[in-house]
Structure 1
Amino acid sequence: MPGARAATAADADRGGGLGLEAALWRAVAVYRTAALGYAAVLIVKNAGGYAHPAGGWAVLGIMTGWTVAAWLLFRDPRRRGPALLAADMTVAAGCVVATAWVESVEGIASGRPTLPVSWVAAAVLSWAVVGGRRLGIAAAGTLALANLLVHVLAGTAGGVGGRTFNGIVLLGLAGLVVGHVVRLAREAEARLARAVELESATRERERLARDIHDSVLQVLAMVRRRGAGLDGEAAELARLAGEQETALRALVGSAPRVPPRAMAGTGRAGARSGRGPAAGNELDLRTLLTARTSDTVTVSTPATPVPLPEHAARELDAAVAAALDNVAVHCGDAARAWVLLEDGGAEVIVSVRDDGPGMPDGRLERAAADGRLGVAQSIRGRVRDLGGTTVISSEPGEGTEIEMTVSRSKVKP
């Protein structure tokens, strides 16, 4: 099941197992370890020229200890919060600033790298993984200030060389690029999860459709056929069985409804376009209208979802139900009706047309004056409250058509 599969993935990530988050943090940990090795080589090589060699070994010890601690702490998703990120940045910036005391003034002025070298980039990567581009750039900016502070403390602020500048630029690019890639990867993972859930839901729906066809639908069809030529209650039961058979066939043949959890995380593009499910409070209007299919009602909808905020979708469905009730009351049980749903992107149009006797001019106005407000309130009122418009066209002997138009921009989520 989709929910069980999602829970399994979440549990795997929580335990440091499979999943995008776990893979990203493993990559950061591997980088931190490799960069520690590079920094150790340079400290060993340059220790003889340090003003305080013992300080170099102390910084290397701190870096080694924090590398081990980071391996353990960042494995637990519950610890990857502001406190741990702040500690990571504090250690990285502190090791950079310590260069001003450990390194000689001549070494700093000549552009020799800071003690941790590229090891501090692990902190930028951690911030970028957690918060994307913004936090990644913020972390790079913090370390850039630490690099400049080294020259200020050493009295070489006027001689900031190209190496220092290049290092600052590389840190900024790392935060920007890694943060952007992480965001894209998360969106891709969310789309993949949604596709897997939809595939699972579709297969389950097909299985249920086969079972229903082999049992319930065949029974309803048999009741409709055998009772069609009878009178009285048997004929009424046959008619009801036929309506339920039609509605059930339409239901099992429609597209599966997207689970709310699968709608989440589909990315900003889907939310901006307004054409795909983007939030858990949206409904596919097709599903509501298709359920009103019967022997006398034909519903036509687009092949793709028509999402609307839930309250708007239900109000439009209620307006359609009121229109169909009017057809049954004023045109007779034998009258046919057609419901057409159109998605114009910026607006949604629902039309209800019947083959009844139609209405003479002024009938709706007289009904409203007499206190009969079915059309005025149940149909026009609902659509008006959604910021939409209703156009009713009718001629005696030509049936009636009700066209309801709702603009997506005027419907509040």
Structure 2
Amino acid sequence: MGFEAPLWRAIAVFRIAALVYAATLVVRNVEEYRSPVAGWVVLALMTAWTAYTSYAYADPARRGWPLLAADLAVAAGCLLATAWVERPDRIFEGAPTLPMAWVAGPVLAWGVSGGKRRGSLAAVIIGVTGITVHGISGRGYMPTQATFNGVVLVFMAGFVVGHVAKLGIEAEARLARAIELEAANRERERLARRIHDSVLQVLTLVQRRGGELGGEAAELGRLAGEQEAALRSLIGSRSEPVADQGAADTDLRTLLAAHASTAVTVSTPATPVPLPPRTAREIDAAVVAALDNVRRHCGPGTRAWVLLEDDPSGVIVSVRDDGPGMPTDRLAAAAEDGRLGVAQSIRGRIRDLGGRVTIVSAPGEGTEIEMVVPLP
């Protein structure tokens, strides 16, 4: 719908309310007019033009200069008609003009369509026209204090509404661009996690095995290593997976139990731990990445333990191993080298779920990764 649509609807409502007020004054003062018939004609024109502009401005394609110029011309014409409809003595005494506040409608339209400068220009034209009414009424050029007050109010309306509308439209455009960029970044990170969990691991395996076998296999391993490095450099952006809609909850225990083996012990609560499918899948994928790190970086015979804890405020999943541990600067060095397994496959996933990851490790003491995810 956009930021402008409500503004144009508000202007249409203002025109109708101002028309009702002007009609009330015409009905009350028509007997005092120099030409009552002309007063009714002006009121009929204002009514017809209000109906037309409410329809015309609703379509963005018609909000161009022809309609804006015609709108301002009709308002100025109805304002000038006061000099022939009202008696000169009443104008001299400060009688209200025929359209009253209705003339502010075009000023607001100009402000919304072009900002404070265009709104101020329309206000000046309407203000000069209102002052001119006193010059052609037959009693001399004697605008009243009420006339000047009206000019100032119309000018302020055109300036402020135009300024606010311009700021709102620009903010909406920036927000749309930011959302677009964020969506693109989130999608890139989602793909990066998928790549890390599949392609990069295969390339790493080929590189390691090729170096062990030697000969032509070593060359193949070298090429795989180069491609791995090139691919890692492309997957360093943030993202957030798209949430599932309307799907039944998934028991996280079932997903985690599938990782149990002679080297991995999985402990879960006795009761189900239901989570939205996307949340459960992302937590399970983070656990898979943690266990894969154990297999890749720890020696043979290393054991791992997966512990699932269910809390009223969320779930806690811990992955602990009895491997050699790692230095405190290992993760930072891996990130600098483009190895983002922990940063994206674990921390990235949990962060996107609104949770946090704590990693505790020291040389010779194993590693523990604790993932805390709040319930949606």
Q: State TM-score, norm by structure 2.
A: 0.62
Alignment of 1:167-186 (within 5 A): 167-186=150-169
Match of residue 153 from structure 1: 136
How far apart, in 2, do the equivalents of 1:128 and 1:56 lie?
Answer: 29
Q: CA deviation at 1:110?
A: 0.7
Partner SS state of residue 234, structure 2: helix
Q: CA deviation at 1:65?
A: 0.1
Q: CA deviation at 1:255?
A: 5.5
How far apart, in 1, do the equivalents of 2:183 and 2:236 lie?
Answer: 16
- Amino acid in structure 1 at the alignment position of 2:92: A
String of CA shifts for 1:139-193, please: whole Å, max 9, x gaps: 0111112112211111344321100001111111011100100011112212321
Alignment of 1:74-113 (within 5 A): 74-113=57-96
Equivalent position to 1:226, from 201, 209, 214: 209
- Amino acid in structure 2 at the alignment position of 1:21: E
| Structure with max Cα Rg | 2
Match of residue 115 from structure 1: 98
Q: Which structure 2 residue ranges, 5 or more long, are not aligned?
A: 240-333, 339-376
Q: Which structure 1 residue ranges, 5 or more long, are not aligned?
A: 1-17, 257-294, 300-413
Alignment of 1:176-325 (within 5 A): 176-254=159-237
Alignment of 1:370-389 (within 5 A): none
More deviation in 61-70 or 198-207? 198-207
String of CA shifts for 1:30-52, please: whole Å, max 9, x gaps: 11111101111111111111111
How far apart, in 2, do the equivalents of 1:98 and 1:158 lie?
Answer: 16
Structure 1 segments of 4+ aligned residues over 6 angstroms from their partners: none
Partner SS state of residue 253, structure 1: coil
How far apart, in 1, do the equivalents of 2:139 and 2:188 lie?
Answer: 72
1:63 and 2:50 correspond:
no
Q: CA deviation at 1:27?
A: 0.8
Mapped contact 1:128–1:136 kept (Cα < 8 A): yes
- Amino acid in structure 2 at the alignment position of 1:115: L
String of CA shifts for 1:339-387, please: whole Å, max 9, x gaps: xxxxxxxxxxxxxxxxxxxxxxxxxxxxxxxxxxxxxxxxxxxxxxxxx
String of CA shifts for 1:191-225, please: whole Å, max 9, x gaps: 32123223322332232122212221111111111
Partner SS state of residue 214, structure 2: coil
How far apart, in 1, do the equivalents of 2:212 and 2:71 lie?
Answer: 82
- Amino acid in structure 2 at the alignment position of 1:234: A
Mapped contact 2:189–2:237 kept (Cα < 8 A): no
Mapped contact 2:4–2:165 kept (Cα < 8 A): no
String of CA shifts for 1:41-71, please: whole Å, max 9, x gaps: 1111111111111111111000000000001
Match of residue 33 from structure 1: 16
The percentage of aligned residue pairs carrying the same residue is 58
Higher relative contact order (CA 8 A, sep 6+): 2
How far apart, in 1, do the equivalents of 2:150 and 2:55 lie?
Answer: 28
Mapped contact 1:148–1:157 kept (Cα < 8 A): no
Distance 1:169-1:157 versus aligned 2 partners, 3 A rule: farther
Equivalent position to 2:3, from 8, 20, 30: 20
How far apart, in 2, do the equivalents of 1:19 and 1:161 lie?
Answer: 41
Partner SS state of residue 98, structure 2: coil
How far apart, in 2, do the equivalents of 1:169 and 1:186 lie?
Answer: 26
String of CA shifts for 1:303-331, please: whole Å, max 9, x gaps: xxxxxxxxxxxxxxxxxxxxxxxxxxxxx
Q: State TM-score, norm by structure 1.
A: 0.56
1:52 and 2:32 correspond:
no
More deviation in 226-235 or 163-172? 226-235
Partner SS state of residue 196, structure 2: helix
- Amino acid in structure 2 at the alignment position of 1:92: A
Partner SS state of residue 254, structure 1: coil
Q: CA deviation at 1:250?
A: 2.6
How far apart, in 2, do the equivalents of 1:213 and 1:170 lie?
Answer: 63
- Amino acid in structure 2 at the alignment position of 1:225: R
- Amino acid in structure 1 at the alignment position of 2:19: L
Mapped contact 2:107–2:123 kept (Cα < 8 A): yes
- Amino acid in structure 2 at the alignment position of 1:91: V
Match of residue 129 from structure 1: 112
Partner SS state of residue 75, structure 1: coil
How far apart, in 1, do the equivalents of 2:43 and 2:143 lie?
Answer: 24
- Amino acid in structure 1 at the alignment position of 2:138: G
